[in-house]
Amino acid sequence: MNHIALKMLMGDRGKYLGIIMGLTFASLIMTQQPAIFVGLMMRTFSFISDLGLPDIWVMDPKVQFVDDIKPLQDTKLYRVRGVAGVKWAMPLYKGLLKARLENGTFQTCNVIGLDDATLIGGPPVMLVGKLKDLRRSDGVIVDIDGATDKLAKPPMVPGGKPTPLKIGDTLELNDNRAIVVGIAKTTKTFQSQPVIYTTYSRAVRYAPRERKMLSFVLVKAMPGEDIPTLTRRIRKATGLAAYSRKEFIDLTWNYFMKNTGIPITFGTSVALGFIVGAAIAGQTFYNFTLENLRQFGVLKAMGASNWTLLRMILLQAILVGSIGYGLGVGLTALFGYATRNTILAFKFPWQLLAFGGAGVTLICIFAAIISIRKVIKLEPAIVFKG
């Protein structure tokens, strides 16, 4: 009877395409919007995940997320270094500074100051130049997105393309000269500001003077040291907050989830996509069944059992569900591919595939249940009514 079920479904081309379009739309919205959401949320902690070397981040206890800088006294660095189980502890400066561009405008940049001696905390991938070039006088490394876009030199002719920053070009950071010595690849930040790496001492020189300048202390544990135990020990010994990388990512993620409108905005889009998709697909599928009620009645009169008809409807639902899901997910992937080099945040992990699949399955079950109910209650004697 499977063959008959499929032919019945595809025979009504308009309804068949209508159901698939509804499910495709639902699947697209249920994967594309969360993919942007996940991409955006991952940018909130991209700075932490880009720094693979340290095991523990130490900071002021009032810090709520990675960009919520509450500077420490430089002496705190030595207290952390004195905690048993700490292999090394390095200072890190992180702050927003204004760069003056060639055309006189200003661009806020994320300036990262690395330990002068070790340069720990540097960019994950160097595209041009080397990390150690930061030791050159006034040296800074700029991320590729900043170098080609927001920090790029204005076009030579009106309407022309801006010229990307290259090694040797200069910037003005808070009235201080900075020379580009390298171009790096970093994960985009939440606010998509250019990222500028330099040494710690130079960064605090660029920044407006404050009593406290140390943003974070990056800690590496001794080999074999238990990270949770060491974080507790650092907290106890210094009175500072200490988080493993995963804990700091979670702290940042939770802050954005609880304190911004991002989850509710995307959640609303996903819910609307689900509801509209369910309504279109469910209604069209139900109408399709209603219009075929006489045909189901004929099959019932001829001896087809309710179980057989139920299987036929389920098969129809599974087929349209699979096609709609595949098209929706495909369109989402295509969207991600098309926008891969743009500012748009997009991350499409397998969990979203499963989420979209679960959503489409729910819609199909809903559509099938309302249709099956009608068919099961159908009196076969309907076939003799004119």
Partner 1 sequence: MDGLAKAAVSCKNVVKVYDTGGDKVVALGGIDLEICMGELMMLVGPSGCGKTTLISVIAGILDQDSGSCEVFGKDLLHMRSSEKLKFRAKNIGFVFQAFNLLPSLNAVENVSIPLIINGVKRQTAERQAANVLEQVGLGTRGKSLPSQLSGGQQQRVAIARALVHDPRLIVCDEPTSALDHETGHNVMELLRQVALHRDRALVIVTHDARIFSFADRIAQMDDGHIEKVVDSAEDL
Query: Which of 13, 25, 30, 5 minimizes the C-alpha distance to 318?
Result: 5
Task: Give the residue with the Cβ less far from partner 1, 195 or 375.
Answer: 375
Q: Which is nearer to partner 1, 244 or 292 (CB)?
A: 292
Pairwise CA distance, residues 368 & 233, whole Å: 58
Least spacing, CB of residue 308 vs partner 1, in Å: 7
SS (H, E, C) 294-330: HHHHHHHHCCCCHHHHHHHHHHHHHHHHHHHHHHHHH
Contact between residue 247 and residue 232 where contact means Cβ atoms under 8 Å apart: no
Find the shortest distance in angstroms from Cβ 322 to partner 1: 20
Q: Examine residue 385 and tell whether it contacts partner 1 (CB under 8 A).
A: yes
Instruction: Supply the minimum distance, in Å, between the C-beta of residue 191 and partner 1.
Output: 56
353-382 residues near partner 1, rule: CB under 8 A: 379-381
Torsion of CA 55, 61, 64, 70, to 10 degrees: -100
Subset of residues 187 to 216 that bind partner 1, contact rule: CB under 8 A = none
Regarding 70 and contact with partner 1 (CB under 8 A), the answer is no
Among 12, 102, 116, 172, binds partner 1 (CB under 8 A): 12
295 makes contact with partner 1 (CB under 8 A): yes
Please identify which residue in the block is written with the tokens 């499910």.
23
Task: Report yes or no: 358 and 292 within 8 Å, Cβ to Cβ.
Answer: no
Shortest Cβ distance from residue 277 to partner 1 (Å)? Answer: 25
**Least gap, CB of 363 to partner 1 (angstroms):** 24
Kindly tell me which of 68 and 291 has the beta carbon lying closer to partner 1: 291
Residue closer to partner 1 by CB (options 9, 151) is 9
* Cα separation values, 225 from 11, 85, 158, 349, 371, Å: 67, 6, 59, 32, 61
Between CA 365 and CA 373 the distance in angstroms is 12
CA distances (Å), origin 284, targets 12, 276, 313, 344 = 11, 12, 13, 34
331-350 residues in contact with partner 1 (CB under 8 A) are none
Q: Does position 305 bind partner 1 by CB under 8 A?
A: yes
Cβ nearer to partner 1, comparing 16 with 346: 16
Asked if 301 touches partner 1 (CB under 8 A), the answer is yes
Q: Which of 159, 160, 168, 386 binds partner 1 (CB under 8 A)?
A: 386
177 contact partners, CB below 8 Å, separation of at least 6: 138, 170, 171
Give the range of 147-155, 294-302, 313-321, 333-341 binding partner 1 by CB under 8 A. 294-302
d(CA 284, CA 139): 64
**Smallest separation, CB 3 to partner 1 (Å):** 6
Q: Among residues 14 and 223, whose Cβ is nearest to partner 1?
A: 14
Per CB under 8 A, which region of 28-36, 122-130, 170-178, 290-298 contacts partner 1? 290-298
State the nearest-atom distance from the C-beta of 283 to partner 1, in Å: 21
299 sits near partner 1 (criterion: CB under 8 A): yes
Q: Tell me phi and psi for residue 63, to 5 degrees.
A: -65, 130
Out of 62, 159, 303, 343, the only residue in the binding site for partner 1 (CB under 8 A) is 303
Nearest approach in angstroms of CB 309 to partner 1 is 11
Report which of 92, 96, 98 is spatially closest to residue 68, judged by C-alpha positions: 96
* 268 is an interface residue for partner 1 by CB under 8 A: no
Using the Cα atoms of residue 8, residue 14, residue 20 and residue 23 in order, give the sign of their dihedral.
Answer: negative
Secondary structure of residue 371 in the 3-state scheme: helix
Closest CB to partner 1 among 7 and 258?
A: 7
Question: Which of residues 267 and 380 has its CB atom nearest to partner 1 in the complex?
Answer: 380
Tell me how far apart the alpha carbons of residues 176 and 254 are, in angstroms, rounded to a whole number.
37
- Which position among 217, 241, 304, 372 is part of the footprint of partner 1 (CB under 8 A)? 304
Pair of tokens at residue 291 = 């219009």
Binding residues vs partner 1 (CB under 8 A): 1, 3-4, 7-8, 10-12, 294-295, 298-305, 308, 379-381, 383-386
